[in-house]
Structure 1
Amino acid sequence: MKPAAVEDFALRSELIQFNHASYGLSSRRVIAEGERLRRQIESDPTLHLGSELTRRLAAQTISVAEMLGVDSTRLTLCTNATSAAAAIVASVPLNADSTVVVLDVEYSSIRRAWEIACAKAGARLVSVAVPVPFESAAALLAVLDDQVPGLVDYLQISAITSSTAFRMPAPALGAWVEQRGGRLIVDAAHVPGHIPLLPELWGAAAVFGTLHKWFPTLRPVGLLWLTPELDIRPAEVSLTWDSPDLVERFSWPGTFDPVPRLCTETAVAQWLEWQDAGLLDDCEQLADTADQAMVDIGARRTATTEFRPPRLRSFILDGVTAPQVKDALRVAGIRAWVGHGAGGECLLRLATHIYNDENDVDRVTNRIQEVLSR
């Protein structure tokens, strides 16, 4: 029998969902709130999409900032992580003397955004290969020292990497780039609702991410956190682009659907109920169960215990291809992220959530074991 919490979602009952980390999943409560808000907006768009909207978005931003434990004057909600990243990459000053360092485990579109920006400015882009399985912050710092001599303007990392799903040693990397005269940019797409958001501890100058991956909010809701000295503007020049207020600056990227942002308080409140009931702790225990089960059938972890996130795990599957694994899971009604790592290895990523149980772990493990044994 599935956990009672499965009723909180509209997920098809015959599916096994381990791909929560890709898109998240809106809860029925938040979907209902979104429908209410849409009816309200349509009753008087001139009012609800005008100046009133900025006030409401500011209130949502303050609520999110308080929950995440960060200064609300440094935080804004935005369309998604991609738009927040685009704002950063388009705004930071680059020239022919600049050096940007990007790790090869970063999300592909983020790497591409830096490639385009550096090419336009004539800046040097250095891609650094991260050892996988990831076992040591010291080893990565040694690679950086070896491959990146001299000054650095920006270092792009993820707090939790996407495909390989391991926690980066952000404070150590922040200290490294500061010693090189540069700034740390952090992709925190897998952070809010999963692990603490700690930009100042990380030594970050800018952090971008999403709420819709680990909170049950509607899609999409992005976030952007900035140090005061960085003047970051939206990539699209809209009516509020020149605003000195960070929230207002990102409140109107042209005509858009504000409902996902307006639902964040509802989503966070429900997430807190799950946390208080111990359901998120159960997810962590289930992730550990899945982790050991996958290793028992021959999968290899992408990181040692110190660097594994609570509810997101990735595995290297030797001797098989990503299409083989995708097809096997699809036929079995199992949804999980499968792809290739930077070195061409086949990766399987599992995200546990409150609708999963040990039967789900057994089914995905058995299916992967079948693929590996062919």
Structure 2
Amino acid sequence: MFASPSRNLPQVTTTRLKVTLRDVEPRVLRVFDVPADSTLDELHDLFQIGFGWPGRQPYQFATGLTVFLADPGEVREETLDEDLDPHFRYRYHPVEGWEHDVVVLGPGGAVGCVYGEGVCPPEGSGGPRQYAERLRVLGDSGAGEFRQGVVDLRVRQMAGAVPESVQLLLALIGEEVEATIYGEFPPSVSGPMHERRPRWNVPGQTGEKNALPPLTALHSVLRSAGVLVPAEPGRVCPAPRAHDPRFVVRRLRSWFTPGAFGAFVAGTAVGYLAARGATDENTLINAVLGAAERGDAVTGHDIRTALHHLRPALTGLDLAESTRSGWLPGPSARSLLPLATAMSTGSGAPQQELTTR
């Protein structure tokens, strides 16, 4: 038998935040428990998913006289625990001007949304005044209702989780293991991975080197992301912080370079699969193509090529799998890539996932 993939990952230290949308009635507020070391980019993602904003517009955080500006996809290094006061502001969409008051309440519990009231106004409703006028004219008190369990789940998914295949590989590697630069592991690693992930095997190559392309890709991703590091010639070991799930999730997300075409294709395709379930490749390509910016000179051939290039890594990270009949979402489809998480939260989106066991 081999080690459990759980690896005794530690609990995440959290901070409890009360976030209230200004100048909107009925009142819209959320109480979040978020990782205490959240960057402002991560905090933005958590607020977006918790309130229900689409997240496509610029945003800013402000504390005192200091303002942190950002556009979607821009990487910011400021963090919640170091750069913001106990009271600060979060503004989304510079044209419509949705202002949020944020209060730090103290330590939190498990990551999630612990309380909420009201449904967020739809983006495109013009801002608080226009939204109030719309409700007055329509005689509407606000569409829908706040669903605690759904929002809590979405926030936890956006915070991220280490894919089980990554946990399993790190557990099998242990302190250190032999590995070539081509991603080949000894039988003590490749054998159990094949046992747990039989569909990763290339037909007719069982037991041969490089018979598990997703394992080779996973090795490359973990080394490029700094989760695995060289120990000595011909050997690798987990990075000193590889026991920390926050570190691993961040490093895996960083492998999908923000703003890069491959990151867009991966996030959009995985999000579509998470929302729709099994999909034939042509439909998936058209969905990704439809999500591209109108000014981008992107073709279906470009997307198909990118998907085929990404396929081993998407499989190894439990994000998606390509079969003869099309593509399937993986068990981490909703909990690793922020873009995919955001895309997969539409009402009625199925929770169908691929089991890799």
Q: TM class, shorter-chain normalised? A: under 0.3
TM-score (normalised: structure 1): 0.24
Report which of the two has the higher share of helix.
1
